[in-house]
Amino acid sequence: MSKHRVSRRQFLSYTLTGVGGFMAAGMLMPMVRFAVDPVLKGEDTGDFIATPLKTTDINTEPQKVNFKFKQKDAWYESEETGTAWVFKNEAGEIVALSPVCKHLGCIVDWGTDKEHPEQFFCPCHYGRYEKDGTNVPGTPPLAPLDVYPTKEKDGFLYVGKAEPRKGA
């Protein structure tokens, strides 16, 4: 017989500690994963997405550009379509605006309001924005349209993640 016999009390204690630890790890792991997820996804942030628009085709008239990107939601990856309104401003700089209305999130169009052909128009509650994305006072939106950072690569327009306009 071995001298290192495990008493019934010790056996119960080891077993309960083991099972308890296993259960605690099972509960904590998803929480830890959730907490550090943005860090793990860090390499994605700031990524630019290619659009099919050649920068030489961009002029002063806003044009709607659709682009595809992959979106990862936990373990599920899907292909999404994004949209930007793209034009050159008076300084010749490329501007890419988000089409998402800052009132309640409908999609704005360019020049579809007959009385204001040089503005973005949101048909949901008649929201309007100037060409540079500034919300027109007296209409429902209370902030300018978000702006995509842009860059050019191999002659094509790339856009980053839309963000609120600086200074707005």
Instruction: Indicate if the alpha-carbon torsion angle 133, 137, 138, 142 is positive or negative.
Output: positive
Rule CB under 6 A: say whether 124 interacts with ligand FES: yes
Rule CB under 6 A: say whether 145 interacts with ligand FES: no
First-to-last alpha carbon distance for the chain, in angstroms, is 81
72-76-79-84 Cα dihedral, nearest 10 degrees:
-40
Applying CB under 6 A, among 62, 99, 133, 141 the residue interacting with ligand FES is 141
CA 36 from chain centre, in angstroms, equals 18
Per-residue burial over 27-39, b = 16 or more CB atoms within 10 Å of its CB, e = otherwise: eeeeeeeeeeeee
Q: Tokens 């839309």 sit at which residue?
A: 162
Applying CB under 6 A, among 106, 130, 143, 156 the residue interacting with ligand FES is 106
Taking the least distance from each CB to ligand FES, the nearer of 19 and 124 is 124
> How many residues in the shown chain lie near ligand FES by CB under 6 A?
11
Rule CB under 6 A: say whether 104 interacts with ligand FES: yes
Q: Are 102 and 141 in contact (CB under 8 A)?
A: yes
Rule CB under 6 A: say whether 142 interacts with ligand FES: no
> In the range 84-103, which residues lie near ligand FES by CB under 6 A?
101, 103
Rule CB under 6 A: say whether 140 interacts with ligand FES: yes
Q: How big is the CA angle at 96 (ends 93 and 99), to the nearest 5 degrees?
A: 155
CA 106 from chain centre, in angstroms, equals 16
Binding region for ligand FES (CB under 6 A) out of 13-21, 26-34, 119-127, 153-161: 119-127
Taking the least distance from each CB to ligand FES, the nearer of 139 and 160 is 139
Q: How far is the CB of 104 from ligand FES (least distance, A)?
A: 4
Would you tell me which residues interact with ligand FES (CB under 6 A)?
101, 103-106, 122, 124-125, 127, 140-141
